Chain A
Amino acid sequence: QKEVEQDPGPLSVPEGAIVSLNCTYSNSAFQYFMWYRQYSRKGPELLMYTYSSGNKEDGRFTAQVDKSSKYISLFIRDSQPSDSATYLCAMSAYSGNTPLVFGKGTRLSVIA
């Protein structure tokens, strides 16, 4: 079993829909959880960053962490065609010296 599992999609939704992207993980030591967004032929960029359990909201984006279920989610409200990208979850156990572990990424298309 991979440490981080993420459905690769592709996921196609109409403009304005609520999108839910998810990852599960097996390492209970993970404490830092991130979502990166990657546009076609570009490098990933950090979108959301959360520590431990709970929710974090930033505009149309909400990140949720449920450590008891080892499950993290990213919600996109009022999705736009500009949200079309690959979304990668990433996580780490320590803030100092352990590299991030990435999910494989979910490819999202928002259709106008």
Chain B
Amino acid sequence: DAGITQSPRYKITETGRQVTLMCHQTWSHSYMFWYRQDLGHGLRLIYYSAAADITDKGEVPDGYVVSRSKTENFPLTLESATRSQTSVYFCASSRGAGTGELFFGEGSRLTVL
């Protein structure tokens, strides 16, 4: 199906483990984004990518790694998960960074014990 999909939808892990959240879009949008959403903080940008092999830091990049070898995929890796990274993670894509029409995935709910 066309759209943007995230996996897994739910994940429980332990402190210190590596976790990768996957994001795939079928629109060939240039831009892709990772946000985390926490109560009291709203949506905060972690990383974004303007095209394959081009990534840039957002507001809260520490502890996260991204890659974009193909236009349609933008995985987010937590190299050594911490409890403070318990959150809901949203991937999004758009034609431009600031054009407004961001298309969001359903979210990945991560719990770090």
Contacts and interface: CB of A to CB of B under 8 A. Distances in A.
A65 to B, nearest CB: 13
Interface residues of B, number: 22
B101 interface: yes
B8 to A, nearest CB: 15
Interface of A is mostly: loop
Contacts, number: 67
B42 A100 contact: no
A7 B104 CA distance: 23
A99 B33 contact: yes
Contacts of B19: none
A96 interface: yes
Interface of A: 6, 8, 32, 34, 36, 41-46, 49, 88, 90, 92-100, 102-105
21 contacts: A6-B42, A32-B98, A34-B100, A42-B107, A43-B90, A43-B105, A43-B107, A44-B104, A46-B101, A49-B100, A49-B101, A88-B42, A90-B100, A92-B97, A93-B98, A96-B96, A97-B50, A98-B97, A98-B98, A99-B48, A105-B43
Interface of B: 33, 40-43, 45, 48, 50, 58, 90, 92, 96-102, 104-107
